[in-house]
Structure 1
């Protein structure tokens, strides 16, 4: 197990290059299965989740060639349609491979996925979408067996705009007969990136970014190269890190339009933000105002930014209220922040944060990916030394996190704990 040792109290100053998007890279990596050939991807983040996806693709028979953030994937020899259970349990996004395998082979066998424990995230919406397309779905002792003689385009009306269910429905429909229409679709920028990638391969998809997506099936796809979009959650995280440490940062290789609600809230808290092409500058040299935030599906405030904002608001002027409308178990990190002197009370799906003068270093434990990032933020802004344990969660989604932080004046080291 690894930990971060952080000495707080240093202003973060300098320039950060934002990595490729985790949440765009994973479905695009899965989508390469639909092509019988080679795909070259650029700006792929080097994180544990992408490494796990490479491992699954190789287990299925694919070849993955890695050179920094350039990845070449040869899926011509993929010859399996069963995702190993032990790999499924390590990463929730592995379920996206089901749609791609169904699209290519009309068959997929997989188990229930793992990932961060941030609440119930059933895959029923995914399975109902498959059934709408004429796919037979059987649950058998923890395994899910899907198969179809043919996949036919159909109307899929999602009960909730789930990102994963939208992506799986798209992937299963790309090579189907006829036209599939997804209504109440997720609108996230990562869905647009997936559409752009697939269309470059020869798919016929329109509507990504709206609540209705239409996929007209094609016979086959072609080899392409593609550049993954920047990570909007990493962008938001570094903006909050600047605020928490009263620092000044320039974020490069990013897109401010993808995080409009985040920037709006930071400006409401009286932070100075300048936006240029592919660049965001933030200057925060004073105590911020308290905020009220409600997480919502895109284009609302992102649930993935909730925990980092909460940590930032622990020392704001006044009382903040955070309402979590997406996941019911996403406040576990607040107990760890309270060990550092925060005053956070959780009531149902709301967290009430009473601003304190400062936080103090403590031994804390990451409970999930974004909650772990929140603890790093708290440690960097606190007085004294903070030890953050179980940082494997953080390594799942942030590329070279501690190195990037050291480059902008943070005092943070990663250590391997031996038990």
Structure 2
């Protein structure tokens, strides 16, 4: 396994290109299962999770052709051979469950292993199951697999989600495109990735309204067709790199970034003393003073503060002037990066879903261990500010969600390299 070594204290200046959104691409790719016509995706991020989803779709008989180094993918499910998503692939990634709705919609059956992914909470499938059962699916759990059938096809229904789950909203929205009648998703997730998926489905011929609001209405159609769709900019990668110059000084422009993707995040940055300006090139970020100011953060579904930026924000607040409080309301077990930051000199107290961060003047380099995807990059960011050398171990998590992070940071002046673990 690889490690990443960061030598802190060097200001960052220049441009960082932001990739297409991982979480959007992982929902867009299974949409190919809804049609025998080709789906072409552009601006696809080159990540290990994308490779896993590709392997899963290919195991079902989907033809996947990659072009331009993987940034363009053409997917076709005209000759599918299976409706079974096996454990050996699904266990690697939570988003694998997004094949369930499309398979039920078009083929009226699916056998899908319970998914895996980062250890940041249970993230149960019951919301997905309850929603699809309202649409006429019969789902039974046997031997770790969801055995689902929809005799005669899915039927439109009123689907109230008890939690604004992104994955459940995506699964139901895809399933409803081919269902008989009208489906109304209530308490739907509003994330940009949902909006992106709906736009793609509409390009394929789906009849959908309400994306970006808490009520999405889908009128089922007989069949979907071919489409070409660009993956939306990754708001989590965007927010991550926006924080980089806050740790060690300088001015960075995140190419392709737009304020509408990170509104609540930018509000907290402004309160912390960070300038963010928008241009036709992207978002430019610079710290106003010598240290950021303390702010309180509560993670919430979009448009609230993203849970996927909580670890990175905590790392920044370790250096803030004052005491900050962070409350995690989306996932349990998502403060596992806190003990690693403490190893670098941070002052953090964690009680359940709340963390209190007392800002310190400086951090010190140390060997640390990544526990999940966002924790990985939070430790790298902390290393940018730390005195001496920080070695981040177990960075295989990182490659699931960040495209060539060491190359992007090196290009703006960071002293960072990837090495084989000792």
TM above 0.5, one fold? Answer: yes
Contact 2:256 2:283 in 1 (8 A): no
1:18 — aligned with what? 18
Distance 1:354 1:196 in 2: 43
Contact 1:38 1:72 in 2 (8 A): yes
1:359 — aligned with what? 363
TM-score, normalised via structure 1 length: 0.98
In the TM superposition, 1:79-98 aligns within 5 A as 79-98=81-100
Displacement of 1:278:
5.2
Distance 2:72 2:303 in 1: 30
Contact 1:8 1:380 in 2 (8 A): yes
In the TM superposition, 1:104-119 aligns within 5 A as 104-119=106-121
Cα RMSD for the two superposed structures: 1.0
SS of 1:205's equivalent?
strand
Residue 391 of structure 1 pairs with residue 395 of structure 2: yes
Residue 186 of structure 1 pairs with residue 189 of structure 2: yes
Residue 217 to residue 200, structure 1, CA distance change in 2 (3 Å): same
Residue 54 of structure 1 pairs with residue 54 of structure 2: yes
Q: Which of 304, 324, 327 in structure 2 is aligned with 1:323? A: 327
Displacement of 1:351:
0.5
Q: Which of 350, 353, 364 in structure 2 is aligned with 1:349? A: 353
Q: Could you report, residue by residue, the CA deviation over 1:239-281 in whole angstroms, capped at 9, with x for unpaired residues?
A: 1111111221011112210100111111111111111235111
Which segment drifts farther, 90-99 or 275-284? 275-284
Distance 1:140 1:56 in 2: 20
Q: Could you report, residue by residue, the CA deviation over 1:374-402 in whole angstroms, capped at 9, with x for unpaired residues?
A: 00101111010111011111110011111
Q: Which of 199, 202, 214 in structure 2 is aligned with 1:199? A: 202
Which segment drifts farther, 197-206 or 275-284? 275-284
Displacement of 1:310:
0.2
Displacement of 1:416:
2.3
1:140 — aligned with what? 142
* Ranges in structure 1 where 5+ consecutive residues have no aligned partner: none
Q: Which of 247, 254, 266 in structure 1 is aligned with 2:257? A: 254
Q: Which of 215, 220, 225 in structure 2 is aligned with 1:222? A: 225
Distance 1:352 1:127 in 2: 37
2:247 — aligned with what? 244
Displacement of 1:352:
0.4
SS of 1:168's equivalent?
helix
TM-score, normalised via structure 2 length: 0.98
Contact 2:349 2:355 in 1 (8 A): yes
Segments of 4+ moved more than 4 angstroms: none
Q: Could you report, residue by residue, the CA deviation over 1:342-366 in whole angstroms, capped at 9, with x for unpaired residues?
A: 0101012111000111111111011
Contact 1:256 1:278 in 2 (8 A): no
Q: Which of 280, 297, 303 in structure 2 is aligned with 1:299? A: 303
Which segment drifts farther, 71-80 or 50-59? 71-80
